[in-house]
Structure 1
Amino acid sequence: MQNLYTAKNPFMSMWLSAFNQSAGMMRGAWAAEMHKQQQELTRNSIDMSMRFWMPMLTPPRDRK
C-alpha cells in the first residue's frame, strides 16, 4: 500500500509550478529595475564628479 503522505499530489505540483513561474517573472522585473537604478546612479555620480573637477582642470584665461 502506498503512503499517502509521500504520494505525489498533482494539484500541489501544478500550483507550485504556477507560483514558480510568477515568482520568476517578478524576480526578472525586480532585477531589471535594480539594473536601471544602478545605471542611473553611476551616470549621476560620473556627471557630478565631472562638473566638480573639470573647471579646475581648464587653464586660466589670459588677462589683457
Structure 2
Amino acid sequence: MKNPWLKKNPLLSMWLSGANTVAGAARSRATAESKRQAALATNAMMKSATDAWIALLTPVAPRKKRTRTKRRTK
C-alpha cells in the first residue's frame, strides 16, 4: 500500500513556491538595505577620521585682538 503522505500535492507545491518567492524578495531587500547602511557608516567614519587628521595638521589661527568701544555718556 502506498503512503498517502508521499503523494504529490499541487496546492501545497504552489503555496510553498509562493512563500519561497516572497521570502527571497524580502531577503534581497534586507540585504540591499544592510549594504546601504554599511556604506553610510563607512563614509561617516572616514569623514570623521579625515576631519580629525586635518584638524591636527592645520595650524591654529591667531586670535583677533578685541578693540575697546568707547562708553557713551549721558
Q: TM-score, normalised by structure 1?
A: 0.84
Give the gaps of 5 or more residues in structure 1: none
* Corresponding residue of 1:39: 39
| TM-align CA RMSD | 1.7
* Corresponding residue of 1:5: 5
Find the structure with the greater CA-based Rg. 2
Q: More helix by proportion, 1 or 2?
A: 1
Q: 2-side partners of 1:32 and 1:55: how far apart?
A: 35
Instruction: Give runs of ≥4 in structure 1 deviating > 6 Å.
Output: none
Give the gaps of 5 or more residues in structure 2: 63-74
Deviations 1:18-44 (A, max 9, x none): 000010000000000000000000000
- Count of aligned residue pairs for this structure pair: 61
Q: TM-score, normalised by structure 2?
A: 0.74
Counterpart secondary structure, 1:2: coil
